[in-house]
Amino acid sequence: MRPRVFVTQPVAPSAIERLRKVAEVTVNPDASRALSKDELLAAVREHDVLFCLLLDRVDRDVVMADERLRMIATMTITPPDIDTAAATERRIPVTVIPASLLYDATADITWALLLAVARRVVEGDKLVRQGIFPGAQSSYLLGGGVTGKVLGLVGVGGIGRAVARRARGFAMRVLYHDPRPVPEDEARELGLTRVPLDELLAQSDFVSIHASLTPETRHLIGAREIGLMKRSAYLINAARGPIVIEEALVNALAERRIAGAGLDVFENEPNVSPQLLEMPNAVFTPHVGSAVAELREAMANVVVDNILAVLAGKRPPNCWNPEIYSGAR
């Protein structure tokens, strides 16, 4: 009997075609929402491999739903919503994708948000669609400049470095805060200056978050930190929502203590604070940093590489819990 694979949302056809050569594949056709827990439970009880996406919450109940579950293959860099401890207990491999795949696409969405909120692109689009045209020299849509400003990067891994490279085209001064300093030659090439977080917040015209979500970075940016920012500054987050305390950001935007925010991620995804959605000085995208056709195809095919390895009895190339392969059962 061929193994059975369940895919929680549509992915690139080329990846599905590769899977169908070796397995029976069922794809949930609805790309508009994450599956409910009951739907995930039902899927796991009928399949051997779960191919899941970022917003799928694979808790202990799902992991333990059927003893025949052989693998959880996620199309994410880290599996924050997968109970990896439960999977490890059952010696089920949990696989991910390499972070490097997403560097450029996430840097691009960061810049899209930065430019959109500073130059009030969404508001301008809405006005034109409403037949309102203030004119080329009207003060109606005055925004913030970008060229020559100070960009502060909170976290400067691969994505932060990609953002910094793009900042050179805008002649920006780039500050960064990261526990690990960038090597001197690379910092010089990228024009990076390392400073304490409070100094970065106080000096930057744009604060862009690129830290990983860890216990240390959860709620790293709250009311105190936002209070250190310039009133003319913008907060950009295309990393992980819980790094920012959403309530503190809402209050700062409502009181105009900062100029605006550009967000691709939210504290309690997929739920977004209704108060945040009312803020006219904020621009939102629904966690689509990797939503580039060729990138998503590459991501899906990496997941397939992991699945094919497990089905062939091999250790997958991107295993999050490799300890399951050490020692005897």
| Beta pairing, strands 94-95 & 4-7 | unpaired
DSSP state of 241: G
* Same domain, yes or no: 109 and 198: yes
pTM, 2 dp: 0.90
Say if residues 3 and 24 touch (Cβ distance below 8 Å): yes
What confidence tens digit (pLDDT) does each residue in 272-281 have? 999 999 999 9
* Same domain, yes or no: 8 and 107: no
pLDDT mean over 74-101: 95
* Same domain, yes or no: 175 and 266: yes
pLDDT over 70, % of the chain? 99
In total, the chain counts a number of residues equal to 329
What confidence tens digit (pLDDT) does each residue in 294-324 have? 999 999 999 999 999 999 999 999 999 999 9
* Same domain, yes or no: 233 and 106: yes
Q: What does the pLDDT read at residue 80?
A: 84
pLDDT mean over 86-115: 97
* Same domain, yes or no: 310 and 279: no
Q: Is the peptide bond before 270 cis (omega within 30 degrees of 0)?
A: yes
Question: What are the Cα distances from residue 51, in Å, to 15, 56, 76, 94?
Answer: 11, 10, 11, 10
* Same domain, yes or no: 46 and 83: yes
Which residue is listed with tokens 């399951």? 324
What confidence tens digit (pLDDT) does each residue in 21-62 have? 999 999 999 999 899 999 999 999 999 999 999 989 999 999
Q: What does the pLDDT read at residue 270?
A: 86
Instruction: Tell me the pLDDT of the chain averaged across its residues.
Output: 96
Q: Which structural domain, as residue segments, surrounds residue 311?
A: 4-96+292-325
Residue 328 has pLDDT above 50, yes or no: no
CA atoms of 210 and 263, how far apart (whole Å): 12
* Same domain, yes or no: 257 and 113: yes
Q: Which amino acid is at 134?
A: P
Say if residues 87 and 310 touch (Cβ distance below 8 Å): no
Domain count, the chain: 2
Say if residues 82 and 72 touch (Cβ distance below 8 Å): yes
Would you please indicate which residues are annotated as catalytic (active-site) residues?
240, 269, 287
* Same domain, yes or no: 67 and 171: no
* Same domain, yes or no: 147 and 245: yes
DSSP state of 102: G
What confidence tens digit (pLDDT) does each residue in 141-200 have? 999 999 999 999 999 999 999 999 999 999 999 999 999 999 999 999 999 999 999 999
3-state per-residue secondary structure call for 247-310: HHHHHHHHCCCCCEEEECCCCECCECCHHHHCCCCEEECCCCCCCCHHHHHHHHHHHHHHHHHH
> What CATH number is attached to the domain comprising 279?
3.40.50.720
